[in-house]
Amino acid sequence: MTTNKKALISGAGIAGLALAYWLDHHGFRPTVIERAPHIRHGGYAVDFRGEALDVLDRMDLLEPIRALDTEMGDAAMVDADGRQYATLPAAVFAGDLEVPKGELTRLLYAAAQDRAEYLFGDSIATVEQDADGVDVTFENGPPRRFDLLVGADGLHSRTRALAFGSEEHFVRSLGIHTAIFSLPNYLGLHRTGQLYVSPGKAASMFAENSDGRARAALHFASEELAYDRHDSGELQRIVAERFAGEGWEIPRLLTEMRKAEDFWFDVNAQVVMDTWSRSRVVLLGDAGYCAAPTSGRGTSQALIGAYVLAGELAQARGNHTEAFTAYEHAMRPFVTEHQAVGREGAERFFMSAPTQEVLDMLAANAPENTRTEAIRLPDYAAH
């Protein structure tokens, strides 16, 4: 009989929702706690690769997700006056399948909604483990006891901080900060974008469809910066200072940034840990092994990690020690490969504006088959 059935998942992002789906599938009883008052709808476009498509297929989500494919075409590299000097092939920036993250989250939630208990607008506050379970207190709700706790709460994971130690031990900056926000599509882009590069900086505006909205991203290379992550005003001032005096559409983008309701800012970083579990607490997705946006692999890691973690728990009949070891053994080479891609992507960022030759070479090197030898997806029988 499977034991350790009551699992608390912190975070209803890609990893947490996928895990709720798979744990229920294997006969566990997941509870999901999400700090936001509801599922997060916004976000940039994310791409999937290789084996992640197999996981979606096993969840019967591949076709609905394919229907959301942004089908991005090539984009334009532009100079300070907005003149196109090169073409950025779509193969360089979109994977096997690219979808808006908010739409993906909505579909995953629809699939996992009836498979778990959801606590929105709350967060874990303290965690105490003993031989038989995990006592958790919450910022708002009453304390509860679970068999297992899974931290799927992203790069700045509260679970990781509580069970493993503070962020500076595990989060490694790749030296790039990024701001993202939506804005009116005043350039009239459709399934394309424009990208402007100057030394140590890059800015882009992309539009997936013709709904009148576009997404802007402003990236800059920098040393470690000290700021309050939750103070949008301070973050926007930092971005505006870095991009002051730049050409192309930058002045307009900075104006739109201050009006945006979905402004997002963070450092591009990786999470590097010797182990992803501590007794009854385990980490999943960005919380445990973020590969950084420059890898383009984080969503695939989150989905595959959830599938493997739930499958190993089922296979080990809830013996969490055995299951967490097997999960780590299966995932570690895959994560190592992706984190190397993330670091290479960050190094490329520090190149000056690339020539057409370099862009064509990058497109030619984008593998048609993005499957890897670094992971095998077992067929875990439902229990």
Ligand X SMILES: Cc1cc2nc3c(=O)[nH]c(=O)nc-3n(C[C@H](O)[C@H](O)[C@H](O)COP(=O)(O)OP(=O)(O)OC[C@H]3O[C@@H](n4cnc5c(N)ncnc54)[C@H](O)[C@@H]3O)c2cc1C
Please give the residue ranges that form the binding site for ligand X (CB under 6 A): 10-16, 33-36, 40, 44, 46-47, 101, 123, 152-154, 158, 178, 180, 285-287, 293, 296-300, 302
Min CB(272)–ligand X separation in Å: 15
Min CB(155)–ligand X separation in Å: 6
List the beta bridge partners of residue 206.
Answer: 193, 215
Would you say 40 or 278 has its CB closer to ligand X? 40
Tokens of 358: 């370099």
Would you say 298 or 318 has its CB closer to ligand X? 298
Would you say 300 or 318 has its CB closer to ligand X? 300
Min CB(31)–ligand X separation in Å: 12
Q: Which residue has the tokens 């962020």?
A: 167
Would you say 307 or 318 has its CB closer to ligand X? 307
Residues 92 and 56: their CA atoms lie apart, in Å, by: 23
The H-assigned helical ranges of 68-225 are 90-93, 101-112, 158-163
The residue type at 318: G
Residues 291 and 331: their CA atoms lie apart, in Å, by: 13
Min CB(303)–ligand X separation in Å: 9
Would you say 16 or 318 has its CB closer to ligand X? 16
Residues 338 and 332: their CA atoms lie apart, in Å, by: 10
Cα distances from 99 to residues 127, 140, 302, in angstroms, run 35, 34, 15
Min CB(285)–ligand X separation in Å: 2
Would you say 12 or 318 has its CB closer to ligand X? 12
Min CB(53)–ligand X separation in Å: 12
Tokens of 136: 């958790």
Provide Rg for the chain, Cα atoms: 21
The H-assigned helical ranges of 260-319 are 286-289, 298-315
Given a contact cutoff of 8 angstroms between Cβ atoms, the answer to whether 63 and 99 are in contact is no
